[in-house]
Amino acid sequence: MKSLPKKPFTTDFETNQFRIAHLKNTVFGDSRDIIPNYAPSYRYNRFLDGKKGEAKLTNTYTEFPDFTRTGAGINSTAEDMANWLIALQNGRKFQKSSTLDMMWSPATFNNGDPTNWARGWGITKFRKSHNAIGMSGGNRSVIMVYPDDNLSIVVLTNLAGSAPEDFIEEIAGCYNPDLVKADPLTYLRKNLREKGFDKATEFVKKEQNTNPEFSPKEDELNNWAYRMMSNNQQKEALEIFKLNVYLFPKSWNTYDSYGEILLKMGDRNKAIEMYKKSIDLNPNNENGKKILTEITAQ
């Protein structure tokens, strides 16, 4: 990136992104910099003074060296982000409108399979209606664009680990209620909060009987479960890992992840069973083999 424009990346980006979209309060920087109107960032920390204890809310300190600035270090406001998205969709960023269409199209691997991302965008939800493309950052902020609905949502929080990607589509649903049901994961999450996570598999079975197109993605379920696990929501995570095994019984990774949460919750025998199944499906699962050896040696 630095060699192409023959100037520092941040300078080029400020010129061709910030200024064009009239972003008045967006700058590069980290915890070492004094940033006007900066909202301090927090996280729950269980390790303090060399000891593990109850989670305590603490300030975060982050440094983003120059070589990381292509993927980190921008400080902005919701208004500035909205202006940037408007400039993007109004064609002020590209000479051809087809460039935006290409950017928001599914990418493919060399074998022809679709990726889980688009060009420069890490969240893609390509569906029959209400397509959504977005990006999250720092596990505390996210933007989502709905090109077919002329709608964009920006969520900025200052709590690391808040994972706003888990609720941004519910916010979009305030503007268009159809968006919640268009996303299987959001619809599932909303219903399980009301009915209980222990009803996960039962709910999915019923929903698929009436709506064959209701099909949560394996990687989305897995990522959601891991986020809950990291936030100490073990029981809820367990039910989603279990659901993933039900939906994708031929995936070695679903059994591996289910085994991990079972082991974490103390169900050693069931964890061994899951790791064995994972290794049967994927003999190259070296990490699974290592964990299985450690468990069985106890």
Residue 4: predicted pLDDT: 65
**59 forms bridges with which residues in the sheet?**
42
Residue 51: predicted pLDDT: 85
CA distance 60 to 40: 8
CA distance 285 to 298: 21
Residue 11: predicted pLDDT: 86
Residue 1: predicted pLDDT: 58
Sign of torsion, CA 113 213 123 195?
negative
Which stretches within the chain are classed as H helix?
Answer: 9-13, 78-89, 97-103, 168-175, 178-182, 184-195, 200-210, 218-230, 234-247, 252-264, 268-281, 286-296
Residue 245: predicted pLDDT: 98
Residue 189: predicted pLDDT: 94
Residue 152: predicted pLDDT: 93
Q: Round to the nearest angstrom and report the end-to-end CA distance of the chain.
A: 51
Residue 10: predicted pLDDT: 85
Q: CA nearest 152: which of 161, 142, 162, 160?
A: 142
Residue 39, SS3 per DSSP = coil
Cβ contact 167:185 at 8 Å: no
Domain spans of the chain, in order of start: 1-76, 183-297
| Torsion angles phi and psi, residue 209, rounded to 5 | -65, -35
Per residue in 34-93, pLDDT (tens digit) is 998 888 889 888 888 888 888 889 998 889 888 888 888 889 999 999 999 998 888 787
Query: In this structure, which amino acid lies at residue 218?
Result: E
CATH topology of domain 183-297: 1.25.40
Spans of the chain below 50 pLDDT: none
Tell me which residue has tokens 């397509």.
131
Tell me which residue has tokens 């890490």.
122
Tell me which residue has tokens 């996280």.
43
Residue 66: predicted pLDDT: 85
